[in-house]
Amino acid sequence: MDETALPPPRFGVEGRIAALENLSPGVTAVRVAVESGPLIFAPGQYVAMSLPEQPPRDYSLTWRSAPDELEFFVRDHGVGGTSTFIAERLRVRDSIRFDGPFGTMPLALGHEGPLLCIAASTGIGPVTAIAKAAGELAPEREVQLYWGAAKAEDLFLVDDIAAALPLDGRLVLSAEDVEPDNGMIRAGNPVDAVSVYHGVLEGWGAVAAGPPVMVEAAAVLIQSLGLAPENFHADAFFTQKDKQPK
Ligand SMILES: Cc1cc2nc3c(=O)[nH]c(=O)nc-3n(C[C@H](O)[C@H](O)[C@H](O)COP(=O)(O)OP(=O)(O)OC[C@H]3O[C@@H](n4cnc5c(N)ncnc54)[C@H](O)[C@@H]3O)c2cc1C
């Protein structure tokens, strides 16, 4: 698969908020009914969303998205901006517009080897979409998913995520606020967890999504373990501030 196989973006697509669900104290699931024709997208892509009186912001499609109803996991940083608007003021039936889909994470599905999936925070939405699609394309393919959050309470929908993986897929959870001996959830971040479980990643493909600092650490680690750079596809969730020249 190359970039020409990805669906072309559309601009000014209209939608309406179909549902809002608090998944954890800081994360809202936003479901959007697409009103101007179904949106064709590939797993793991994102859209640029425009909400009333808010500047456009990029949000990634979760594995529970369909062409007529899209879903996004949005983390509120509690300091204003679109994410706080979503947490505090957005209502069911509000209208929105968006452009997309964008992003090249689906290119990871073109690689036939085992697949390592790394997510932090809301990066779990697109990363699970890739893991699920990989299992559907080749059920025998080895798929491992490492997901971490700062707080264990932000690890939501764990049973649904496990069910989205291929039958013998591995899900490793981590959080920075748990005791080292916690049985279900490792203490630390997902990149550290990968380094514990893997010595060599030659022949593997990998995807990562979430805060830029995690994606950068993941890129450094997996390449040091022998994963070819062309088999790594990622979306770092850069903020507007990150994108401005320093
Ligand atoms: C390709 C891509 C995909 C993305 N997908 C998602 C997604 O699926 N879910 C999601 O939640 N986000 C995602 N993002 C991030 C999203 O686009 C916004 O940058 C984020 O929601 C913050 O926007 P805002 O308007 O709320 O805050 P801004 O207006 O950008 O900033 C407002 C204030 O919040 C602070 N702030 C912003 N981000 C953070 C942070 N991470 N930690 C601490 N303080 C912060 C800023 O410093 C500023 O003071 C994605 C970004 C990209 C580039």
What pTM, to 2 d.p., does this model score? 0.95
For ligand 1, say whether the CB of 71 is within 6 Å of any of its atoms. Answer: no
pLDDT digits (tens, 9 = 90+) for 192-203: 999 999 889 999
Regarding the beta carbon of 46 and ligand 1, being less than 6 Å apart is answered yes
Instruction: Please tell me the distance between residue 111's alpha carbon and the centre of ligand 1 in angstroms.
Output: 30
Q: 98: Cβ below 6 Å to ligand 1?
A: no
For residue 79, the model assigns a pLDDT of 86
Question: Which mutation among 86, 122, 237, 246 tests ligand 1's pocket best, with the greatest number of atoms within 8 A of CB?
Answer: 237
Taking CA atoms only, the protein residue closest to ligand 1 atom 19 is 239
Query: Which pLDDT does position 3 carry in this prediction?
Result: 77
Q: How much of the chain exceeds pLDDT 70, in percent?
A: 99
Per-residue pLDDT at 102:
98
pLDDT at 229: 94
Ligand 1 mean position to 232 CA, how many Å? 23
Q: Which amino acid is at 150?
A: A
The closest of 44, 72, 61 to 206, measured between CA atoms, is 44
Phi, psi of 116 (to 5 degrees): -105, 125
Q: What is the pLDDT of residue 1?
A: 67
Q: How far apart are CA 32 and CA 91, in angstroms?
A: 11
Q: How far apart are CA 171 and CA 173, in angstroms?
A: 7
As given in the structure block, the two tokens for residue 25 are: 């104290």
CA angle (142, 119, 230) in 5-degree steps? 65
Pairing between β-strand 170-175 and β-strand 143-149 as defined by DSSP bridges: parallel
Name which of 101, 165, 155 is nearest 130 in CA terms: 165
**Residue stretches of the chain with pLDDT short of 50:** none
**Upstream peptide bond of 52 is cis (omega within 30 degrees of 0):** no
The 8-class DSSP code of residue 26 comes to T
**pLDDT above 90: percentage of residues in the chain:** 84
- The structural domains of the chain, ordered by start, are 3-102 (2.40.30.10), 105-240 (3.40.50.80)
Q: Is 80 in the pocket of ligand 1 (CB under 6 A)?
A: yes
Nearest atom (ligand 1) to Cα of 239: 19
